Amino acid sequence: MDVKIEEGWKNVLFNEFSKPYFQQAVTFVKTEKAQGKTIYPPGSLIFNAFNTTPFDTIKVVLLGQDPYHGYGQAHGLSFSVPDGVSPPPSLINIFKELHNDIGMAIPKTGDLTYWARQGVLLLNSVLTVRANEAASHAKIGWMEFTNAVISKISEGKEGVVFLLWGKFAQEKQVLVDETKHLVLKAAHPSPFSAHNGFFGCKHFSKTNNYLTKQGLTPIDWRISK
């Protein structure tokens, strides 16, 4: 299967594209579209995280669950929304923690593409969703694919920071070799759980301290606009 994805990722994930689970996921999405169902994000953005953050550039993995299911919100980057779309509550809480941690001004846009271009892989565990139906594509095969992605990053790179927020993301910890990577865990930034340990986690400064010790350029967490 010829998947339109950044060349470095294509080389790393080549074997996954021919596996039954991946073909099943792609067929499922195409079938739902043919039935007239609205799927997010748009087809051209399903692999946006990979195309914006090539494998060779990864410094940080920020793991989300599945795409936003409201109109115009999802664009293939976890927690991010396109410029002009109001930041959802979890993203607002991320910005609050950034402000408290490093003093960053609260941005007016929720588009995190600038992070992705610096090496922050904004990866959702599930890559598509049916409009207005959260987790509607959670069991079609995407999870196997993104588990393979996490494993490939763990095996093929060193000194990556994995940000695991909430129970769902933390279940992926077993896929990461912690002898050569840093795993940072906290509560999910959702309004329902952010006060249980997300606020005050200081993951952004901790990430940059670790990257600096690796001799890498830290992430500029500021967002334009």
| Count of C-beta atoms within a 10 Å radius of residue 15 | 10
Three-class SS state of 211: helix
- Which helix (H) or strand (E) segment holds residue 122: the answer is strand 120-124
In angstroms, rounded to a whole number, what is the distance separating the alpha carbons of residues 212 and 209?
A: 5
Active site (catalytic) residues: 66
Phi, psi of 215 (to 5 degrees): 80, 20
- Render 36-71 in DSSP notation, one character per residue: T--EES-GGGTTHHHHHS-GGG--EEEEESS---ST
**CB burial readout 195-224, b (16+ within 10 A) else e:** eeebbebebbeebbebbeeeeeebbebebe
Respond yes or no on whether the N-terminal peptide bond of residue 42 is cis (omega within 30° of 0). Answer: no
Largest interatomic CA distance in the chain: 52
Contact status, residue 118 vs residue 142, Cβ threshold 8 Å: no
